[in-house]
Chain A
Amino acid sequence: MGVLKVKIPDELDAELRKLLPAKKGAISEFVTKAIMEKIERMKKDENN
C-alpha cells in the first residue's frame, strides 16, 4: 500500500469534508474509488 500526498484547492477540500463522514480512512477510500472509476471510464471510452 502506498501513500499519496497532494494539494487540493480549498473549496474542493471543504466540499469533500462536507460530503464524507468524519471517520478514519474515509478520504483514502473515496480517493481509491474515484481513481478506480475514472480508470474504468477511460477504458470504456478507449474501447468505444
Chain B
Amino acid sequence: MPPLYCKDIDERLLIMLKEYALRKYGSARYLSKALNDILREYFEMKKDIHTGVDILQPSRKINAVTKRKIELLKSLLLNEILYEDILEDLIMHLGITSHTSIRDYKKFLISSGFITYVKTVERYGKKVNVFKVNTLKVRSFLREHNVDLSEFEDLESRFDMYEYRSKESVRRRMVLMEEEKVDSNHNDEEIYGELQNLEDFT
C-alpha cells in the first residue's frame, strides 16, 4: 500500500479525523482506515460530478444532478434522431439554463456514447449538428441501473411524447421568432416543413 503524505492539514481537522477513527474503529491510531473511508466516499462524490456516469450506481444516493441525467437519458429514448437545438431544449426542460452546463450535458452524452454525431444540416438559417441516439445503449444502461422503463414500452405513448416534444419545441421557437418580429407566415411553413422532415427522417 503506497503512503499518502499530506502537508498543511489543519490541526483541528487532524483532531477530528482522529475522533472519527476513534468512534468508528475504537482507536485513534486507525487513521489510515478512517481516511480511506472518507476519501473513498468523497472520491465517489467527486467522480459523480466529473463523469456523471458512475453516479447511477443503484447503491448510491441519487442527487439532483443524477436525477437530471436520468431524466435526460430517459427523454433520449423518445428521439432516435436529434437536432442539436432540440437536444438543447431537452436539457433546458430539466431546468438547466447556463450555456456552460448545457455544453457539459452534451459532452457527457457524447463522451459516454449515448449519442453519436451524424452530420451537420442547415436549420432556420443556422448550421446544426444532427445526432443519432444509441437507444440500445441508453436503454441497457438505464435498466442496468434499475431505472423503471415501463413507460417506454408502449410504442404509441412513445410516439405521442415524441410528437409532443417536437411540437413544443417548434412552438417555443415560433414564440421566439415572433418576438424577434420575423415574418411569421413564411417561417410557419418553414418550421412545419422542418417538423415534417424530422418525422420523415425518423
Residues of A in contact with B (beta carbons under 8 Å apart): 1-10, 12-13, 15-16, 19, 25, 27-28, 30-39, 42
State the CA gap A19–B51 with chains docked (Å). Answer: 10
State the CA gap A13–B45 with chains docked (Å). Answer: 16
- Select which of A2, A7, A34, A37 is within 8 A of B14 by beta carbon: A2
Interface hit among B34-42, B89-97, B121-129, B187-195: B34-42
A28 adjacent to B36 (CB under 8 Å): no
Q: Does B102 contact A (CB under 8 A)?
A: no
Q: Cβ of B36: which chain A residues have Cβ within 8 Å of it?
A: 6, 8-9, 12
B1 adjacent to A27 (CB under 8 Å): no
B6 adjacent to A27 (CB under 8 Å): yes
Q: Cβ of A34: which chain B residues have Cβ within 8 Å of it?
A: 38-39, 41-43
B9 adjacent to A13 (CB under 8 Å): no
Q: Does B172 contact A (CB under 8 A)?
A: no
CB distance from B8 to the nearest CB of A (A): 5
Q: Does B26 contact A (CB under 8 A)?
A: no
Residue of B nearest to A28 (CB): B6
Q: Cβ of A4: which chain B residues have Cβ within 8 Å of it?
A: 4-6, 9, 14, 17, 31, 35
- Select which of A7, A19, A35 is within 8 A of B13 by beta carbon: A35
Q: Which residues of chain B from 1 to 60 have any CB-CB distance to chain A below 8 Å in the complex?
A: 1-11, 13-14, 16-17, 20, 31-32, 35-36, 38-43, 45-47, 50
